[in-house]
Amino acid sequence: MYKGKRVAVVMPAYNAAATLEQTYREIPLDLVDELILCDDASKDDTVALANKIGINHIISHRTNKGYGGNQKSLYNKALEIKADIVIMVHPDYQYTPKLIPSMVNIIGEGLYPVVLGSRILGKGALKGGMPFYKYIANRFLTFTQNLLVSYKLSEYHTGYRAFDSEVLRTINFNDNSDDFVFDNEMLSQIIYSGFDIAEVTCPTKYFDEASSINLSRSIKYGLGVLRVSVMHRLNKLGVLKSDLYH
């Protein structure tokens, strides 16, 4: 706990057996009360390993529901067990859990209700192995999103996120996409609802076992991101009324 606030780490897993234990070993268990892993119909031993190392709550999808569908199960479970601070950590070890105390402190002290681990703050993205085309796409999309949603972030595409539970109870994340664009829909909802967002510098790690999407899915994701940002703008102007923002 942090000052009486219950802390939960949620992990969206798919074929994460090779990196799960390495990720788990860096989680500060003296601070984190609950560990929740959702396995999205992996083809490896992710669930068996999660049981072996002692993860508190394990959700198993019989069929693959997608990255967004995985997160929905995780956040709903976190709310069900009454977590006050919820941090998403990918079990592929692309984001170090060593930043969890800093993120918990920011939320637990009431400074910001949302914290993102940014790979773009500082100069570590390319040094850490981010492919150049992904770096350029990240910068272009983030610049465009900042303009359309009238907010300023260094990046909208990090998977390292922490939330006050009030944020999860307020936004309509269950109506979001089950695909990768879920992350951007969620940030759009957070900004639309008036929650402030902090960013902390996060080291970038790209290696063979880390999850990634191919070029065609990256293009689909990028187009989805632009669609979300335009929709956000039109809803703010009163031109549209989307269920995502009720």
150-195 pLDDT tens trace: 999 999 999 999 999 999 999 999 999 999 999 999 999 999 999 9
Averaged pLDDT, 13-21: 96
Contact yes or no for 245/235 (Cβ under 8 A): yes
Q: Residue 189: inside a domain, yes or no?
A: yes
Q: Residue 1: inside a domain, yes or no?
A: no
71-129 pLDDT tens trace: 999 999 999 999 999 999 999 999 999 999 999 999 999 999 999 999 998 777 777 77
User: Is pLDDT of 211 > 70?
Assistant: no
User: Which residue segment(s) compose the domain that 43 sits in?
Assistant: 7-245
Dihedrals phi, psi of 170, to nearest 5 degrees: -90, -45
Q: Residue 2: inside a domain, yes or no?
A: no
CATH at 66: 3.90.550.10
The Cα 197–Cα 243 span in angstroms is 22
Q: Residue 48: inside a domain, yes or no?
A: yes
> Is the whole-model pTM more than 0.85?
yes
Contact yes or no for 180/67 (Cβ under 8 A): yes
The Cα 218–Cα 224 span in angstroms is 10
Report the share of the chain in percent with pLDDT over 70: 97
Q: Residue 200: inside a domain, yes or no?
A: yes
Q: Residue 138: inside a domain, yes or no?
A: yes
Q: Residue 156: inside a domain, yes or no?
A: yes
Q: What pLDDT, on a 0 to 100 scale, did the predictor assign at position 166?
A: 98
Split at pLDDT 50, 70, 90, the class of 209 is: low
Count of structural domains within the chain: 1
The Cα 237–Cα 226 span in angstroms is 17
Q: Residue 218: inside a domain, yes or no?
A: yes
Dihedrals phi, psi of 150, to nearest 5 degrees: 55, 45
42-46, 188-192, 205-209: least confident range: 205-209
The Cα 240–Cα 159 span in angstroms is 28
